[in-house]
Structure 1
Amino acid sequence: MPIVSELPRIKIKEDEQWDGLKGYLTNTELSPQEVYHQYSCFWSIERAFRITKGTIEVRPMFHFTERRIEAHVCICFVAYKVYKELERILKINLPISGQTVNKTMFFTESHKEIVFLFDDDFWENHLG
């Protein structure tokens, strides 16, 4: 005998209305839009921790002085920053011409403020 027959049919119907939906409970004063936005960015934080623990190997640390621990964390932070900057620079191989094109991704507002520095004409006009 299937287990479903033992469950009240009304409870199953009530539960069906939530199929495919995801909800968030919070104790903050943030707006629903801000809660959603913050949670949707959460994956990037988890990925950063995964990269620092695995790829860059922040842990385990076997240092015994505060200065060495700070130096280790600092070096790992710089390595992570370099990793992220290299990740922002894309190389695209064009299939027909075989040409390789470099593209830099600008994510934040501060990135977008300096986008003109990446134009070839800017440096030719200001240095030449």
Structure 2
Amino acid sequence: MFQFTERRIEAHVCISFVVLKVYEKLERLLKASGCPHSVDSVVRIAEVIVTLDVDLPENGKTLTKTIYTSKRERDIAYIIETDEWLNQNG
């Protein structure tokens, strides 16, 4: 870890800690749901999922549509489509 100031070092450590906690949370979620993919695999799959936002001029609303093109993407769709897993303990 090469940083120039104490503030940058603290920020780097803080971000690293948050990443670790998110990784652990996702790992527990995947295990509890019986998902056949690892955390690293889910991250790679999610990187290519496309979400479109279409502005509707008639009413000024925005329509959002996530497009899943493979079975692997559909396997992890529940993580993207719902926030219920955020409320799980652990």
TM-score by structure 1 length?
A: 0.27
Q: Which has the larger radius of gyration?
A: 1
RCO comparison, higher one (Cα < 8 Å, 6+)? 2
TM-score by structure 2 length?
A: 0.36
